[in-house]
Amino acid sequence: MGNSPSSPSPLQTCLNTAFAPGTVAYPGGLLYQLHDVKPFNLEIPVVPAAVVRPNSTQQVAAAVRCAVASKIKVQPKSGGHSFGNYGLGGVDGALVVDLQNLQKFSMNHDTWFATFGSGTLLGDLTDRLSANGGRAIAHGTCPQVRLSAARHLTIGGLGPLSRQWGTALDHVEEVEVVLANSTITRASPTQNPDLFFALKGAAAGFGIITEFVVHTQAAPTTAAIRYSYNIQSSDHTQMANTFATWQSIIADPNLDRKLASQVTVMPMGMVITGTYFGTQAEYKALNFESRLAVNATTSITVFNDWLGLAANWGETEALKLLGGIPSAFYAKSMAFTNKTLIPQNTIHDLFNYIQNTDKGTLLWFVIFDLAGGKTNDISQDATAYAHRDALFFVQSYGAGLISVSSTTKSFLTGINKLISNGMPNADFGAYAGYVDPALGNAQHQYWGTNLPRLQRIKTAVDPTDVFHNPQSVVGS
């Protein structure tokens, strides 16, 4: 790590007193931007005032004290996978508290509650849960080792098991958190419940979580099916009709919760993929493939190993194409409910648009991802996570070799605009995990009807907005 300048600022003086050499980095240091900062989205250059890597909760509190004394904003970084580089503050001049050293893990074999540090990466958590009693939680499919468990558990965390178990954050039972006044406290349904509500969906604006306690499930031990229907076609009418059929299938309120599914549109065509947590005979009995009536290259794989299945989730075409490596990209999202299904004519307009519009890049995809199930069972006001009625999400994504062109951004923005124009009375939201720095009214889009309560809690626990990024909750 780099050393501080010869005439340190008050922030640097404070941090240098509180932390050992080698645990704090400043702009101008050797490999600062490449090693210490490491932005995930190269489209958004960010230069933090400093990056500190605490070894304990007490050191996290010390870092916050230093920032407050210098009136510097603070953001936690846990994995560094933010689409908007919000783990680096999102804008220049923040103090970044990198939690990578907080790696504790334990399992209570009576309650099957796991306790772990907030620096834990998602892949590591999956392995540790499996090794300690064959346990698991619901989580996403992104294979990148930099994706943090903490980010998943404080934003939402949707994945193939969410239709049965809920979101990743629905597993959280208790947290340890450092607040803006540097106090270390616990939050749970019975201890600081308002704070706990906010941390489960909007944590970046309220404090730095240093420890999680989660309830776990027995990892799947029976067979699971991974299916893929690859439609290599440039016929937008065929793809539109197939998507319309998929939407009608997944809109069935009695759809088996053991089925996870997504539709991905890419330069080479369209692919329908997913997981069914059951035997091949049970999957066949769903008649999912016959109802789709697709003319496609079909792949059906049976998994009897939980870790092998979890690893395979990272092998989707979109993630192989664009995931894992820091790059310049832009992404947008929308949430759909059973009351806001996309009309047939809008579906055809959308696929015609996708086929015929200049993308400005070959590195793009549009994913329609099934949600619903258990996630919908939980009340809207139970946690800050606002999309309890979401049936599926759409995420559109485009990347550039050096930067994202205006053509690519226009293409992605046009997808949302076309859908909105085709459904003028629908109220869409956006998923905070797919940060969109250009999103208007972002706080409402991310947190919906929960926003007023979040604003009141923010005023109570962080009145000077210490924990800040460009789209975090601000006080009322």
**Structure token pair of residue 305:** 């190993």
Residue 286 contacts residue 233 (beta carbons within 8 Å): no
Place of tokens 């995809």: 365
The list of the chain residues with pLDDT below 50 reads 1-5, 143-145
Q: How far apart are the first and last CA of the chain?
A: 39
How many residues comprise the chain?
476
Place of tokens 């005023």: 459
Rounded CA Rg of the chain? 22
pLDDT digits 0-9 by tens, 170-183: 999 999 999 999 99
- Residue 287: CB atoms within 10 Å: 10
Q: How far apart are CA 439 and CA 122, in angstroms?
A: 27
What amino acid is encoded at 218 in this protein? A
What amino acid is encoded at 379 in this protein? S
- Residue 260 Cα distances to 7, 44, 157, 403, angstroms: 57, 33, 14, 34
- Residue 166 Cα distances to 157, 159, 337, 372, 427, angstroms: 9, 9, 16, 9, 23
Place of tokens 């003086």: 13
| pLDDT at residue 314, rounded to an integer | 63
Q: How far apart are CA 23 and CA 63, in angstroms?
A: 11
**Quick one: three-class SS letters along the chain?**
CCCCCCCCCHHHHHHHHHCCCCCEECCCCCCHHHHHHCCCECCCCCCCCEEECCCCHHHHHHHHHHHHHCCCCEEEECCCCCCCCHHHCCCCCCEEEECCCCCCEEEECCCCEEEEECCCEHHHHHHHHHHCCCEECCCCCCCCCCCEHHHHHHHCCCCCCHHHHCCHHHHEEEEEEECCCCCEEEECCCCCHHHHHHHHHHHHHCCEEEEEEEECEECCCCCEEEEEEEECCCCHHHHHHHHHHHHHHHCCCCCCCCEEEEEEEECCEEEEEEEECCCHHHHHHHCHHHHHCCCCEEEEEEECCHHHHHHHHHHCHHHHHHCCCCEEEEEEEEEECCCCCCCHHHHHHHHHHHHHCCCCCCCEEEEEEECCCHHHHCCCCCCCCCCCCCCEEEEEEEEECCCCCHHHHHHHHHHHHHHHHHCCCCCCCCCCCCCCCCCCCHHHHHHHHHHHHHHHHHHHHCCCCCECCCCCCCCC
Of the CA atoms within 13 Å of residue 266, those in its CB half-sphere come to 19
Place of tokens 């626990």: 461
Nearest of 401, 164, 353, 368 to residue 248 by alpha carbon: 368
| pLDDT at residue 318, rounded to an integer | 53
Place of tokens 């124009």: 421
Q: How far apart are CA 424 and CA 433, in angstroms?
A: 25
Beta strand 328-336 with 208-215: parallel, antiparallel or unpaired? unpaired
Q: How far apart are CA 207 and CA 458, in angstroms?
A: 10
| pLDDT at residue 305, rounded to an integer | 81
- Residue 321 Cα distances to 220, 314, 470, angstroms: 28, 11, 29
At residue 135's C-alpha, the angle toward residues 125 and 144, to 5°, is 30
Question: Is residue 404 exposed (0-12), middle (13-18) or buried (19+ Cβ within 10 Å)?
Answer: buried
- Residue 421: CB atoms within 10 Å: 11
Q: How far apart are CA 371 and CA 260, in angstroms?
A: 8
**For the chain, which domains are there?**
10-98 (3.30.43.10), 105-219+449-461 (3.30.465.10), 224-446 (3.40.462.20)
